[in-house]
Amino acid sequence: MTAMSTNEAPDRSDWREAGRGWGAQATDWAYLFEPYARPANDLLLDRLGVGAGTRLLDVACGSGLAANAAARRGATVSGLDAASALIDIAMARTPEADFRVGDMFDLPFTDRSFDVVTSFNGIWNGCDGALVEARRVLTESGRLGLTYWGAYERMGLLPYFGAVIQHSPASHQAATTRLGDTSAVAEAMLTAAGFELTDRGTVEVVNEWPDVDTAVRALASAGPSIPAIHAIGRDAFCQALRDIVAPWHDPRLGVRVSSEFGWVTARPC
């Protein structure tokens, strides 16, 4: 695998389609999947000095767990995502925040209006225009933070992405080949968008599910699963997922899958 799928690697032309995919099983994604990224959320918010009064925008905010963590630190939070069903959950989690449904390639915010812009696995290789938009809405002394998938050899979910690629239509497979290498191109993308890299590292994230059925349900809710489900049907795709997940199950621990995220921080230059 060299990349993710179209739904996980939005481009300007299909953000509504991406939003429909990611929103198709919104509560499953929000409650069964999204919490795995919490260590990455906390690490990046720490590194970016997010606290009382920070004006923060989370791009491709999903169901708003990271945005909620920022709000709990006292930040004034905005968030944007293509999936209206995920934004509904984000608004329920953090009613005081300003959440919008929209396109990260055309942010509906004014120039220099944020101290911090984050995106947790939302801006990938090929999404350079979203970084240009992030640069536009940041103050001159602002900070940017991104996460993305890390090394394949430490990516426990790699077999899942393999199943997505195997069962997705060719159009989605083609997009998939572009997006898994964000780590390799992150610095060049940042430079091209007018940023200077300030720090980078990796962080372990762990998916935890009590049983195989819950793990399959969670994996089937992620945006990249949707084209595969449309192609071969939900039952067949879930069976493929079950075949992958079943060997991971430990009767004492349930299903625990560890993966690596990469992260970067940057400032405008």
Ligand X SMILES: C[S@@+](CC[C@H](N)C(=O)[O-])C[C@H]1O[C@@H](n2cnc3c(N)ncnc32)[C@H](O)[C@@H]1O
Contacting positions for ligand X (CB under 6 A)? 8, 10, 15, 18-19, 22, 34, 37, 60-62, 66, 80-83, 86, 103-105, 120-122, 223
Shortest reach from residue 123's CB to ligand X, in Å: 9
Instruction: Give me the residue whose beta carbon is nearest to ligand X.
Output: 10
Scanning the structure block, which residue is given the tokens 């970084």?
A: 131
Shortest reach from residue 33's CB to ligand X, in Å: 7
Query: Distance (Å, rounded) from C-alpha 97 to C-alpha 90?
Result: 9
- CB nearer to ligand X: pick between 98 and 249: 98
Shortest reach from residue 4's CB to ligand X, in Å: 8
Shortest reach from residue 26's CB to ligand X, in Å: 9
Interacting residues of 97 by C-beta distance below 8 A, sequence separation 6+ = 64, 67, 68, 71, 77, 78, 79, 90, 91
- CB nearer to ligand X: pick between 56 and 243: 56
Retrieve residue 135's tokens. 């640069």
**How do 138-149 and 195-209 pair as beta strands?**
unpaired
Per DSSP, the three-state class of 259 is strand
- CB nearer to ligand X: pick between 108 and 247: 108
- CB nearer to ligand X: pick between 82 and 257: 82
Shortest reach from residue 159's CB to ligand X, in Å: 18
DSSP assigned state of 32: I
Q: Where are the alpha helices (DSSP H) in the chain?
A: 15-23, 26-28, 38-47, 65-72, 84-93, 128-137, 158-167, 170-179, 182-192, 212-221, 225-232, 234-245
- CB nearer to ligand X: pick between 223 and 268: 223
